[in-house]
């Protein structure tokens, strides 16, 4: 079952969010310090991923073009509107806002190599180990995020399952027309591009600056197009 890893990921985010909801009596000062700790950790993780690039020009081009596309499509505003719609339907979470928890958790759980690589492995090889590992990480992260941002974190399960599920479904056919060398190069540069976005999420969580990270999401698709173009050029001329 190629969706097994995706479903486990969604389930553990739900469980982690529910556990975090039960731990809602954490003192305010502790919550602030924990949020700073999460933000700093996310920033370091993003830097580690960013340094994996083998051609940083691809990362820069992808982020710049992706930012332009994201701003034109107003992805951050649309994601926030979805979060606010959930908040109106369900009511206040009593701790933070549903919108804030939903948006931040969605970006943290969706952006990154493990989501794409794990879903690809599930679809191509039926190997769910990467997504199982991601599920454990996301579950523990959901606990911490829910204690600080509120129960809105639980709704990030929906975009995570849709995102990983679609990639896994696509991956069931991808190995028939995408060379392994091209796929390997894409994963490397996608990891670096996603790392920069994760670093930006960390900046947001610490309150240092407010970056519209959702508007950078098209950079992942742009990375695929740029890497493909570079691969074709290298194949023709070398």
Whether 66 is covered by a domain: the verdict is no
Question: DSSP code of 27?
Answer: -
Whether 157 is covered by a domain: the verdict is yes
Q: Are 193 and 220 in contact (CB under 8 A)?
A: yes
Q: Is the pLDDT of residue 93 over 60?
A: no
Q: Is the pLDDT of residue 2 over 70?
A: yes
Whether 206 is covered by a domain: the verdict is yes
Residue showing tokens 């849709």: 162
Whether 133 is covered by a domain: the verdict is yes
Whether 150 is covered by a domain: the verdict is yes
- pTM for the full predicted model: 0.77
Containing structural domain, residue 99:
4-54+74-175+196-210
Whether 64 is covered by a domain: the verdict is no
Whether 37 is covered by a domain: the verdict is yes
Please write the tens of the pLDDT for every residue from 114-173. 788 788 888 877 889 889 988 988 898 898 888 888 888 999 999 999 999 998 998 888
Please write the tens of the pLDDT for every residue from 68-90. 999 999 988 888 888 788 777 77
Q: Is the pLDDT of residue 91 over 70?
A: no
CA angle 184, 185, 190 (to 5 degrees): 100
Using CA atoms in the order 40, 164, 119, 130, what is the torsion angle rounded to 10 degrees?
40
Whether 183 is covered by a domain: the verdict is no
Number of domains composing the chain = 1
């Amino acid at each position: 079952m190629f969706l097994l890893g995706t479903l486990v990921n969604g389930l553990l985010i739900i469980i982690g969010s529910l556990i975090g909801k039960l731990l809602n009596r954490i003192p305010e000062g502790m919550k602030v310090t924990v949020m700073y700790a999460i933000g700093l950790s996310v920033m370091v993780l993003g830097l580690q991923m960013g340094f994996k690039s083998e051609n940083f020009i691809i990362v820069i081009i992808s982020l710049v073009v992706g930012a332009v596309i994201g701003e034109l499509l107003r992805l951050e505003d649309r994601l926030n509107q979805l979060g606010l719609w959930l908040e109106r339907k369900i009511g206040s979470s009593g701790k933070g806002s549903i919108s804030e928890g939903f948006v931040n958790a969605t970006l943290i759980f969706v952006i990154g190599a493990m989501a794409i690589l794990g879903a690809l492995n599930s679809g191509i090889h039926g190997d769910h180990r990467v997504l199982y590992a991601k599920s454990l990480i996301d579950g523990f992260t959901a606990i911490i995020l829910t204690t600080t941002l509120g129960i809105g974190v639980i709704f990030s399960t929906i975009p995570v399952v849709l995102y990983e599920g679609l990639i896994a479904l696509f991956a069931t056919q991808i190995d028939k027309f995408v060379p392994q060398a091209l796929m390997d190069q894409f994963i490397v540069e996608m990891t670096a591009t996603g790392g920069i976005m994760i670093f930006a999420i960390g900046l947001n969580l610490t309150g240092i600056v407010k970056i519209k990270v959702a508007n950078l999401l098209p950079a992942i698709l742009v990375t695929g197009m740029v890497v493909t173009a570079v691969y074709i050029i290298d194949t023709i001329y070398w």
